[in-house]
């Protein structure tokens, strides 16, 4: 590899790395994007028997206020937005279905809350929207609700919402400030959830197009073994093929990998704290069916078992062969379930029961199932003992961090986009 010097070297080609590379190259920076495998990180699309399976849902939350919308406008990305229809979303209460309070209309129609509780919950939503309610960084949402004497039914509603948005079976552990920050955005948006036509792959292709148009360098199958440091600066990314030098560096790889790259540097200890954190794991069970099974809803959330099914192909028709259907089921799990095969098998059985209940006949139509028993939804699980990593640390001033384990706005992919946008602008302002 010819030693080439770059303005910015970006390590990791997931959504954070790709968006930072596209944005910086479009602003005239000479960039190199290094990825040890294929581009996209956890946001990949797999083609199996004519079906396009996304690793995890390719959903964008609060899309009208999302940083991805900012990237779309500023980089002229072509995104085929498919907006989720909240009227087609239902909660399964065991013996009945009811509307999901994804918007105020759903809130008034839902049977999860009755009478005065509905009014109280609406009041909580309103206070959140108006920033009258911001929570407290030292109180979990459970402790906060107890302190405020929130009624049990309203507590349950708030935790049910949090469970489905934070992909967790332990929503009570979410820090209350994180909770309210998130819901302020979600309640004030006009587009709570949107999918991308063509899945993650379509978005990855768009970022790559922008990077290549702006003469950026993308090196896949290039593993960074370490970052070489001199005094208070990072000077090079060391790979098996040679060194890649740069003025600024952005690390977009998860802390568990990052800690190896920073071995024997001042940062090793600081990063090891974040590397010890638990990610958010789920069981994902997708099914590709040869014929559609039409039901009146496109999203069903089993409140008791914390499982939801989305009819992805209703929104993104490109992901199935003609006449087919792609359903994605996601079951939240506790940390303790991970090493327990029995518990995981139990979760898979519960998913199949939910498919049986809401999509009868799916087994006869099944072409291809895809099961992932430890899918990482996000590199950080929101609890009182885990906090996101800053986008820079004082030790090396030309080194930045971006990804869904970093400080930023929103959750999931939105954290990747917002942290990437933030660090890109810090570099451009230098």
333-369 pLDDT, tens digit per residue, is: 988 888 899 999 999 999 999 999 999 999 999 999 9
Query: Residue 4: is its pLDDT beyond 90?
Result: no
Residue located via tokens 């089993």: 302
**pLDDT tens for residues 221-246?**
999 999 999 989 999 999 999 999 99
Instruction: Map 7-59 to HEC letters.
Output: EEEEECCEHHHHHHHHHHHHCCCCEEEECCCCCECCCCEEEECCEEEECCCCE
Domain boundaries, the chain: 5-43+67-79+198-277+382-429, 100-187, 280-378
Q: What is the pLDDT of residue 50?
A: 95
Query: Which helix (H) or strand (E) element contains residue 250?
Result: strand 242-251
> What is the per-residue pLDDT for 257?
96
Q: What does residue 235 show for φ and ψ, rounded to 5 degrees?
A: -115, -25
Percent of the chain with pLDDT over 70: 97
Check residue 1 and give its pLDDT: 47
Q: Is the pLDDT of residue 293 over 70?
A: yes
| Strand pairing category for 45-48 and 51-54 | antiparallel
pLDDT at 339: 83
Considering the domain delimited by 5-43+67-79+198-277+382-429, tell me its CATH architecture. 3-Layer(bba) Sandwich (3.50)
Does residue 104 surpass a pLDDT of 90?
A: no
Cα distances (angstroms) measured from residue 173 to each of 94, 122, 127, 177: 25, 23, 21, 12
Q: 280-378 — its CATH code?
A: 3.90.660.10
User: Could you please report the per-residue DSSP string of 155-186?
Assistant: HHHHHHHHHHHHT-S-GGGSBHHHHHHHHHHH
Segment 306-311 shows an average pLDDT of 96
Cβ–Cβ < 8 Å for 103, 186:
no
pLDDT, residue 2, reads 47
∠ at Cα 192 (190, 195), nearest 5°?
115
What number is the average pLDDT over the span 140-166? 90
163-167, 391-395, 423-427: which has the minimum mean pLDDT? 163-167
227/302 Cα distance (integer angstroms): 46
Residue 110's pLDDT band (boundaries 50, 70, 90)? Answer: confident
Task: Quick: pLDDT tens for 365-396.
Answer: 999 999 999 999 999 999 999 999 999 999 99
């Amino acid at each position: 590899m010819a030693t080439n010097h770059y303005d910015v070297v970006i390590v990791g080609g997931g959504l954070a790395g790709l968006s930072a590379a596209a944005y910086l190259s479009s602003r005239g920076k000479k960039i190199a994007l290094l990825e040890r495998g294929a581009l996209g990180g956890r946001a990949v699309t797999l083609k199996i028997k004519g079906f396009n399976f996304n690793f995890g849902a390719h959903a964008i939350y609060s899309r009208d206020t999302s940083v991805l919308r900012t990237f779309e406008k500023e980089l002229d990305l072509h995104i085929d937005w498919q907006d989720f229809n909240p009227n087609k979303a239902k909660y399964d209460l065991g013996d009945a279905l009811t509307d999901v309070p994804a918007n105020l209309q759903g809130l008034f129609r839902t049977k999860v809350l009755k009478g005065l509780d509905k009014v109280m919950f609406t009041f909580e939503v309103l206070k959140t929207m108006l920033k009258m309610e911001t929570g407290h960084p030292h109180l979990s949402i459970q402790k906060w609700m107890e302190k405020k004497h929130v009624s049990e039914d309203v507590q349950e509603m708030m935790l049910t919402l949090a469970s489905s948005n934070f992909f967790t079976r332990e929503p009570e552990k979410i820090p209350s400030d994180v909770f309210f920050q998130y819901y302020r955005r979600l309640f004030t948006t006009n587009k709570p959830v949107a999918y991308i036509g063509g899945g993650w792959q379509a978005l990855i292709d768009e970022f790559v197009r922008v990077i290549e148009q702006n003469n950026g360098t993308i090196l896949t199958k290039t593993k960074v073994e370490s970052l070489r440091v001199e005094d208070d600066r990072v000077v090079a990314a060391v790979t098996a093929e040679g060194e890649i030098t740069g003025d600024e560096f952005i690390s977009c790889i998860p802390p568990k990998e990052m800690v190896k790259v920073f071995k024997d540097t001042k940062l090793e200890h600081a990063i090891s704290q974040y590397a010890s954190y638990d990610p958010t794991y789920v069981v994902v069970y997708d099914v590709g069916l040869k014929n559609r099974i039409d039901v009146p809803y496109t999203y069903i959330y089993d409140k008791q078992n914390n499982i939801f099914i989305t009819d992805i192909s209703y929104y993104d028709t490109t992901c199935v062969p003609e006449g087919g259907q792609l359903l994605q089921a996601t079951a939240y799990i506790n940390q303790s379930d991970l090493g327990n095969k029995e518990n995981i098998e139990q979760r898979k059985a519960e998913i199949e029961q939910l498919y049986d209940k809401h999509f009868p006949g799916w087994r006869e139509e099944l072409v291809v199932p895809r099961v992932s028993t430890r899918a990482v939804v996000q590199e950080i699980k929101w609890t009182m003992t885990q906090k996101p990593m800053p986008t820079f640390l004082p030790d090396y001033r030309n080194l930045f961090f971006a990804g869904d384990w970093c400080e930023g706005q929103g959750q999931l992919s939105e954290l990747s986009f917002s942290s990437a946008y933030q660090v890109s602008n810090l570099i451009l302002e230098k």
